Structure 1
Amino acid sequence: MNHFSTVEKGFTLPVWVVAAAKAATQVLLGNDFEPDQLIRLPNTQEKISIPVQSTSLIDHGNKALAINYSDPGEVLDITRGMEIWALVQFQKNHELLKSRKNSDEINSWLNLVPGFGFGRHISTGKPSISTFTYELLNLNIRDLVPKGFSLNLEIVFPQGKELAERTSNSAFGVVEGLALIGTQAQVQTSASPDQLKKIIDDLRTRCDDCNFSGDLIFVIGENGFELATKVGFDQTSIIKTGNWIGPSIVAAANSGVKKLLLFGYHGKLIKLAGGIFHTHHHLADSRLEILTYLAVQEGIPQYLIESLSKMKTIEQAFLLLDKEHSDIAKSLWLRIAREIEFRSSKYLGRYVHSSMEIGAVLFDRHRKLRWFGPHGLKQLGSLGQSLRT
């Protein structure tokens, strides 16, 4: 059996959560604390060794708490060093049955409780958690739960609510904290060179297809991809770029793309309007500065510009302007969409001579398409007209 070393490789947040939950469950069973937890991975015989900081019985031995810290390895990530608490308690199955209204959940061995700092879906109140995370929990903890019992697992991220403000979670309906949406154990960041190579490989595959029309859509991340397909875009024309937007634009032109649509959350794509074409927040984050600069260019009243500059996040600035001056907000964001198209074409021209048309479409925190650059609206065609109204 092979084991990874956490010194050499970084792991996603679900792995650290499951390690803490497993350590706490073992202590609740009366076993000694194991500071290094072996975690099984789905669809493989491999295990990884994950350190846990500490565990303790609490509430007169009826519950157990484990604490560890997220380590994404060499990858720049906001969860680096973030504290994780896993609180576990056994519950008799008949008690769990009484506490649940949904009959589909009666036979579940796990009752997952989103504690402080753990993101919830605003529409349902349920924890934002991936299938992969549930698979890890099933593989590593289910067999530890005594027969006739289920496990209450409360996950707490003490810094989660604060850190979530630096993400785009709210754009995808996740509030109150960080989501557990990892889809694999090992970290693969959208800022890594390997991600760019994958994008280029995807481009070549799509563009070499004899049925390729010449039109392509770039989205950032899984959430953008999901929304793009939901509103009616053909999946075969969509490529996830991660944060390598600039080099991906150049690669698209070199691959023979004729029309390219940039489709993304306004809080991310606004960076392009400021000439920032690698959008990872650790490398550059001047969104408020870009917003206020373009507000000046748009001729927005000075007192509003001063208010915008005092906001902590781009989302707060947008909400302030949209609530009090919706017409001005619309005018500004349309300006930003036009600027994204202009700056992207200018960026492309620095590296290659190309007539590729670049359009931009931006959606808001409610996943509603709101702002279109001139080329973006044209590329959307009839779909764009229906979404705009």
Structure 2
Amino acid sequence: WAIIPVPRRMISSALQAACLQGGYQGGLRRNLSIPEGQRLAQKTFNPRLGIVGGLSVLGTSGIVDPMSEQALVDTIHTEMDSRRAAGQTHLLAFFGNYGVDFSRDHLGVDVSQRVTISNYVGETLDYAAYKGFSDVLVIGHIGKLVKVAQGIMNTHSHYADGRTTILALEAVFAGASRQLARQIYDSLTTDEAVRLLKEQNLLEPVMAAVCEKIEAYMDQRTHGEIPTAAVVFSNAYGVLGLTSRAKEFLALHTKGELR
């Protein structure tokens, strides 16, 4: 099965509540199904991630509000307008909840003034420069930010991937064998690729190169009008890399000392 922790906890809690209400103290067997899951899964990115036989369960409500891309971008802009109108000059951006939770729990970052940008890195940087923010810090999972290292400014899988491509290439430049590079390239997830790099002591030089490219493309997008920074993390391996200004910008959003 492919169900992320939050929905799993919600399912377990619901079953425990039902047992408690009914006075049942025995065991349970859970059978979960999604109608037409196998057919619908073929329209998603799941098969390329090695998730076969149905859909993965990633959300928590089961409700998806349909919105156009322009509506999403407009929502991001509205949130940025609000932050700027309140006098905020240091923009803190996350792709989604994973980055928020990681930053709050492991970096001690005050995430209360954040902006959630979904996949729209380019539009966020454009608008940050337009609104006169003094700097931008993006904190994101390697699966998202490694795309930015290739100049991909919309990180949705429909537009581009190349996650393991650049990791394999930079591994070769760092001394990896052809066999290892192929293993990295064929990895189904970035965490798997990171594991391979870590085992061969190549993670540090590869991530240094990746972060250098992330910074270059982000600065290029803002035309040098405002400085940018990024923190790359993995839930499995923690902080993987920081661009050159990341520590300085992190301090602007951190309560006390960095953890």
TM-score, normalised by the number of residues in structure 1: 0.53
Residue of structure 2 in register with 1:155 after alignment: 32
Alignment correspondent of 1:312: 188
Shift of 1:355: 2.6
Helix, strand or coil for the counterpart of 2:31? strand
Counterpart Cα distance in 1 of 2:2 and 2:240: 28
- Identify unmatched segments of 5+ residues in structure 2: none
Structure 2: distance between partners of 1:313 and 1:130: 26
SS of 2:203 mapped into structure 1: helix
Q: 1:199 to 1:365 in 2, by over 3 A?
A: same
Residue pair 1:130, 1:181 contacting (<8 A) in 2 also: no
Amino acid at match of 1:192: E
Higher helix share: 2
Query: How far apart, in 1, do the equivalents of 2:244 and 2:165 lie?
Result: 24
Distance 2:93 2:73 in 1: 13
Cα distance change of structure 1 residues 310 and 385 upon mapping to structure 2, 3 Å threshold? farther
1:185 corresponds to? 63
What is the match of residue 241 of structure 2? 371
CA offsets 1:344-372 (integer angstroms, 9 cap, x no match): 111222xxxx5311101011132622311
Distance across 1 between alignment mates of 2:93 and 2:101: 12
1:119 aligns with: 3
Closer, same or farther: CA 236–373 of 1 in aligned 2, 3 Å: same
Quick one: distance in 2 between partners of 1:367 and 1:202?
A: 31
Pick the aligned partner of 2:170 from 294, 311, 319: 294
Inter-partner Cα distance in structure 2 for 1:186 and 1:314: 26
Task: State the Cα deviation string for residues 144-193 of structure 1 (Å, max 9, x = none).
Answer: x9x95879753146768x939739xxxxxxxxx8335334623346x822
**Is 1:201 aligned with 2:78?**
yes
Larger strand fraction of residues: 1
Residues 1-389 of structure 1 aligned to structure 2 (within 5 Å): 117-119=1-3, 121=5, 127-129=8-10, 148=22, 154-156=31-33, 163=46, 166=49, 178-183=56-61, 185-188=63-66, 192-210=69-87, 212=88, 214-230=89-105, 231-296=107-172, 298-303=173-178, 304-323=180-199, 325-326=200-201, 328-349=202-223, 354-366=224-236, 368-381=238-251, 386-387=258-259
Residue 311 of structure 1 and its aligned partner are, at CA, apart by: 2.8
Q: Which has the larger radius of gyration?
A: 1
Secondary structure, in 3 states, of the residue corresponding to 2:91? strand
**Structure 1 residues 184 and 300, CA gap change in structure 2 (3 angstroms):** same
CA contact (8 A) 1:128 1:180 kept: no
CA contact (8 A) 2:92 2:137 kept: yes
Q: Which residue of 2 aligns with 1:55?
A: none
Alpha-carbon offset, residue 282 of structure 1: 1.6
Matches of 1:237 and 1:130, distance apart in 2 = 31
Q: Deviation string for 1:6-26 (max 9, x for gaps)?
A: xxxxxxxxxxxxxxxxxxxxx
User: What value does the CA root-mean-square deviation take over the aligned residues?
Assistant: 3.7
For residues 4 and 108 of structure 2, what CA distance do their matches in structure 1 show? 26
User: SS where residue 262 of structure 1 aligns?
Assistant: strand
On the 8 A contact 1:215/1:237 being kept in 2, the answer is: no
Change beyond 3 A, Cα 1:184–1:249: farther
Q: SS state of the match for residue 374, structure 1?
A: coil
Aligned twin of 1:57: none
CA deviations over 1:41-76 (Å, ceiling 9, x no partner): xxxxxxxxxxxxxxxxxxxxxxxxxxxxxxxxxxxx
1:179 aligned partner, one-letter code = V
Distance 1:164 1:379, change over 3 A: farther
- Distance across 1 between alignment mates of 2:242 and 2:135: 15
Q: Which has the higher contact order (CA 8 A, sep 6+)?
A: 2
Pairs aligned (count):
239
Deviation at 1:385, TM superposition (A): 7.7
* Kept after mapping to 1: 8 A contact 2:146/2:210: yes
CA 1:180–1:295: 2 relative to 1, 3 Å: closer
